[in-house]
Structure 1
Amino acid sequence: MKLLFSLLLTLLVTVLPAADTADAQSPYALPALRRHYRQAATDEEASRRFHLLMRNYAQRDAVVLAYKAASEAIMAKHTGGVFDKLDRVKAASQQFDAAVALNPKHPEVRFLRFSIESNLPKFLGASKHLDEDRALVQQALLRHPNSGLDAEGFRIVRDFMLTNNHIGGSEAAKLRQLPE
């Protein structure tokens, strides 16, 4: 029995690091998604590649679903007709709702929705969560390193919020002082 237990333990120890490596190499790992998102925001071809990757995602991780929603919204910029653009924005909104329902307090989920909604034209009336998402993201950032974001996520979210003047005053000064 001890020999069997030792063999199982050895097998688990050798298999588990491989699984961690596979996760880090996944196209849905956060560093890869963040890179795709930043590129897609400024480059049409990158947005198409990002959308192709994300439309195949069928699992239920809230953060990955939020990136899927963001990829749909970004594609609205590169879609032909007005109704097609509106359909993409509507689909993205539904995907964001699903992501938020899975993890309503996750700052990266709320940040992604905020970053998309803050860039939509006001006349669409599709930016319904700006105040709520801004408040949650700001509170999370100010709690860093207990924000729920890793160092890279914190830096990306903080820089976006500060650079685009979504957080100002004493809160902005506090954020600039926080270590990553």
Structure 2
Amino acid sequence: MMTRIVLTVFLFTMAKMGLGQQLNIDKIRKDYAEAVKDEDLCERNFEILDEGAKSTTEKVYRAAYEILMAKHMGNPFKKVGQFKEGKKRLEELIKDNPTHIEARFIRWSVQVHAPSFLGYKGNIIEDKNFLIKNLHKLPNEEAKSIIYNYLKGANSYLKGEQIFTTVDLKELGQ
């Protein structure tokens, strides 16, 4: 009897883990902006990506969520360390895949929001211009829409040459 109970609990736990941890890049992509404010969502998606990221896009979002995890940490030294690890991973992915549209979007969004003392601001205009010229090439229409809406909404807090002009937005929306 005890063996049957233990086996049932084990099988239930394994099934729950297997079903609960499936990597759905569309959901992870949609959750990205919300994960900044929602620590549980951020942690959950990071764990899923950490365990299962295989494609370049999944690895890019893994780096993004690793960076976002820093925002939810209390210890400033751990925060900076976490940020630097994610940044290093993201930069390696961009170095190996310089025309990967979502990688450039993630770097742009991280750099726009990163505090200046972290010194991670050097590619904002480059990535903005890359996105304007290339977002329309992204084959996934849903991804394109999510990124476009994110960029369009960013204008409310951007300054100077970071702002997307009406012409930029028109080109992005193609």
Whether these two folds match at TM > 0.5 is: yes
CA contact (8 A) 1:108 1:149 kept: no
Q: CA deviation at 1:172?
A: 1.9
Where structure 2 has 5 or more consecutive residues not aligned to the other structure, the ranges are 1-20, 156-162
Q: Determine whether 1:153 maps to 2:143.
A: yes
How many residues were matched structurally?
A: 147
Listed one character per residue, the Cα deviations across residues 95-132 of structure 1 (whole Å, up to 9, x for unaligned) are 10122133210111110111112111112112222122
Residues 148 and 175 of structure 1: is their aligned pair in 2 closer, same or farther, counting only changes over 3 Å? closer
Q: Determine whether 1:70 maps to 2:67.
A: no
1:31 partner amino acid: D
Q: Distance in 2 between matches of 1:129 and 1:28?
A: 29
Listed one character per residue, the Cα deviations across residues 35-89 of structure 1 (whole Å, up to 9, x for unaligned) are 3324312211111111221222464x22111101111111111112111111011
Which residue of 1 is the match for residue 8 of structure 2?
none
Q: Determine whether 1:42 maps to 2:37.
A: yes
Which residue of 1 is the match for residue 168 of structure 2?
171
CA contact (8 A) 2:133 2:172 kept: no
Residues 174 and 126 of structure 1: is their aligned pair in 2 closer, same or farther, counting only changes over 3 Å? closer
Q: Distance in 2 between matches of 1:128 and 1:80?
A: 26
Give matches, 1:67-146, under 5 Å.
67-141=61-135, 144=136
Q: Distance in 2 between matches of 1:114 and 1:73?
A: 13
TM-score, length-scaled by structure 1: 0.73
Q: Distance in 2 between matches of 1:171 and 1:39?
A: 25
Moved more, 41-50 or 29-38: 29-38
Q: CA deviation at 1:174?
A: 4.0
Runs of 4+ in structure 1 over 6 Å off:
none
Which residue of 2 is the match for residue 18 of structure 1?
none
Q: Distance in 1 between matches of 2:29 and 2:95?
A: 21
Q: Distance in 2 between matches of 1:174 and 1:126?
A: 27
Q: Distance in 1 between matches of 2:167 and 2:125?
A: 18
TM-score, length-scaled by structure 2: 0.75
- Aligned-residue identity in percent: 27
Where structure 1 has 5 or more consecutive residues not aligned to the other structure, the ranges are 1-25
